[in-house]
Chains A and B, each alone.
Chain A
């Protein structure tokens, strides 16, 4: 049981390049999330998917797109990378219970845009 996996672990892009960050979970969770973490700012929600087939914007969606490919996979795409998108990106998924909303995170992708 791998939990939440993310690829790649590290990436360097030039301004204007595009890339897709991949995320998969094997815990049969309905909900999945993409966050970015910057020094001194905490984790900020980019997009989330409450269930397969749905996606919604979070706090900082500009410059990103997402695809919920199936129940397991949720990808994040940067169409035209900018230096302001240099960050650590975490994917997460959430348990199903009505009283328990615990999130579990992948190991992160460290992205540098030059």
Chain B
């Protein structure tokens, strides 16, 4: 099993729709989780950290489910500008917090 797994998509959704992505991780002791956004041919940019209590930032909500070992990202009222690849990132417990494991990303296309 890969350390971090994501559905590659693409998820094609109309403007205004709500869309959710999941990301599963293999090491149950992992402590830190993030969602990054990456536009085509650009660098990854931090979207949000994922805390145990969840995290919300405007239209974006991130959740952590430790029992099932996944994190989720919910995007409400999708905009054309949300079209991008969303990367899930996990810091495994044996890395001294210095090593980050990146998923391969989920591609989102928001359609007019």
Contacts and interface: CB of A to CB of B under 8 A. Distances in A.
B61 interface: no
Interface residues of B, number: 21
A90 B102 CA distance: 13
Interface string B68-112: 000000000000000000010101000011111011110000000
B98 A40 contact: no
Interface residues of A, number: 23
A100 interface: yes
A43 interface: yes
Contact of B44 (A40, A45, A90): A90
B98 to A, nearest CB: 5
Interface of A: 31, 33, 35, 40-45, 48, 50, 56, 58, 90, 100-108
